[in-house]
Amino acid sequence: MAIIRFTNCKLCDEGQLIDHDLYICTRSGQIVEPRLSIDRVVDLHGLIIAPGFIDLQINGCFGFDFSHYSTDENYEAGYDKCLKRLVKTGTTSLCPTMITSTAQNYSRILPFLGKEKRSDRTESLGAHCEGPIISKKKKGCHDVRNLKRPSSKEEFYQVYGGQKTFQYMKIITAAPELEGFLELIPEITGNNVVYSIGHTMATFEQSLAAVKNGATMITHMFNAMPQPHHRNPGPIGLEGLEDEGMCPYFGLISDGIHIHPTYINIIYNSNKERCCLVTDAMNLIGLPDGEYPWEERFVVKKGRSLILKGTDTIAGSATEQAQCMRNLKKWCDIGLAEAVKCVTNHPAKCAHVDDHKGFLRVNYDADLCVIDKDGNVKQVYKLGKKVYDEREDILRGHL
């Protein structure tokens, strides 16, 4: 058993920064109790250890689109390659997101996206199916030809290629106001899948009914939903419920494109303990600016902005999760430890993996992100194995 002690560091967890050593076992890939006998000491020279980041909504990265299928061989190779790059950004777990698609594509792709344990790449907690049971008025860049409105349990399961595909899922985003859908929410949660309100025209009352039926999340808050009105706040108003236990977690894209920083500040402060920073990243993250083909259309990438060509429709994001966390820290004028909760503790709770991920606790997975005081990623450990070191990468670049 190989025991590593991280020393001369601060631990960042549950909103606190404390001076303390951390012990991990490389064989089990878990955090362990302090030991007298250790195999290696890692001096972090004052850096900070946080849990690995968790992204609950990401559509692809580094040239690979989770919703695009050609062959099993190509999909497996592309998926592996992009996740081996993604882990170096500090995001150690994710819910790979398929946007609105066909039953055939769900059947083909979802088995690749099921939960896993990997020490060499970002691991999946299970897929996030964003659509196709969504509002036409709030479809965003989703293909209207593939939108569905199932009228029975049988039709509902067939939307995703059959009930067998639910074993690979973690989250489903759907519009609760669609006729007959409220009765289908228990089918989602009964399969151990999180139901998230999104791409919707739901009123506050319809959104509240969805929560009472089992909704525990809101997908990319403010985007693809009615904007808050003083007499009808829509889904956004759920964050002001007096019963804190009923308030859903919410995905927030703090890239500076999807939402103005002022509104980031407002919604974060409305319910700090339910905020989960997501990237909603597309496959174009990490690629040069330009025009790229996408689902018989084109996406224009300019810096962090992705727009469907010829429209003003946002087509996902091109910002890494660590940058979203730094943005939140700046725009909400909060400490680093508070911002870190929104990429670790909160998403772990939302995805129901907080019994083994998202915290620096004994017997939890040793998915670790070593950052500086400003939140810049310096090292990443996946299940106790170092998978990224900024200094080593710089040295390799000079060779």
Known binding-site residue numbers for substrate = 141, 223-224, 231, 258, 314-316
- Cα–Cα distance list, 320 to 87, 161, 227, 283, 346 (Å): 11, 31, 26, 12, 18
Residue 83 contacts residue 122 (beta carbons within 8 Å) = yes
Rounded Cα gap, residues 166 and 287, in angstroms: 32
Structure tokens at 167: 């074993």
Binding site members for Zn(2+)? 130, 199, 220
Burial of 40 (0-12, 13-18, 19+ CB in 10 A): exposed
Rounded Cα gap, residues 95 and 126, in angstroms: 5
Cα–Cα nearest to 267, from 231, 306, 227, 305: 227
Is 55 a residue of the active site?
no
Residue 363 contacts residue 73 (beta carbons within 8 Å) = no
Q: Which helix (H) or strand (E) holds 17?
A: strand 16-19
Residue 107 contacts residue 114 (beta carbons within 8 Å) = no
Binding site members? 130, 141, 199, 220, 223-224, 231, 258, 314-316
Q: Give backbone dihedrals phi and psi of 93, rounded to 5 degrees, phi first.
A: -140, 150
Catalytic residue among 55, 280, 354, 367: 280
Judge if the upstream peptide bond of residue 235 is cis by omega within 30 degrees of 0: no
Residue 301 contacts residue 270 (beta carbons within 8 Å) = no
Residue 131 contacts residue 174 (beta carbons within 8 Å) = yes
Rounded Cα gap, residues 258 and 306, in angstroms: 10
Q: Which residues are catalytic?
A: 280
